[in-house]
Amino acid sequence: MKGSKIAKNFTEREIDRIVEMAWEDRTPFDAIKDQFGISEAETIALMRHQMKASSWRMWRARVQGRSTKHRARRGFEVGRHKCSRQRHISHNKISKR
């Protein structure tokens, strides 16, 4: 995302984490906003610039309208799925691998 206003605010590691969170089906855009302060539209723009065109189209088709990507549209909070690789994330800290 060279030259992008959004990418200038983040390190490579942070961009990688945003892409990873956006790619996960059950991680809502609100979680990305809470952790990194970027909106759904900014996340989509970042994804568009970070991915190959065909991968972006596939991702966009998959997440468009998906209720799990929007916290307000999710019917559950307790018992949500958590990736086994995901560690506890607090505030703006990125989980370590």
For the cut 60, the answer to whether the pLDDT of residue 89 exceeds it is no
When pLDDT is cut at 50, 70 and 90, the band that residue 61 belongs to is confident
What are the structural domain ranges in the chain? 5-71
Average pLDDT over residues 67-80: 57
For residue 63, the model assigns a pLDDT of 83
Only one residue has tokens 């909070």, namely: 77
CA distances from 17 to 34, 72, 74, 77, 79 (A): 13, 23, 22, 22, 23
For residue 18, the model assigns a pLDDT of 93
**Cα separation of 70 and 78, whole Å?**
15
For residue 93, the model assigns a pLDDT of 52
- Mean pLDDT taken over the chain: 75
For the cut 50, the answer to whether the pLDDT of residue 59 exceeds it is yes
pLDDT tens digit string along 7-26? 668 899 999 999 999 988 87
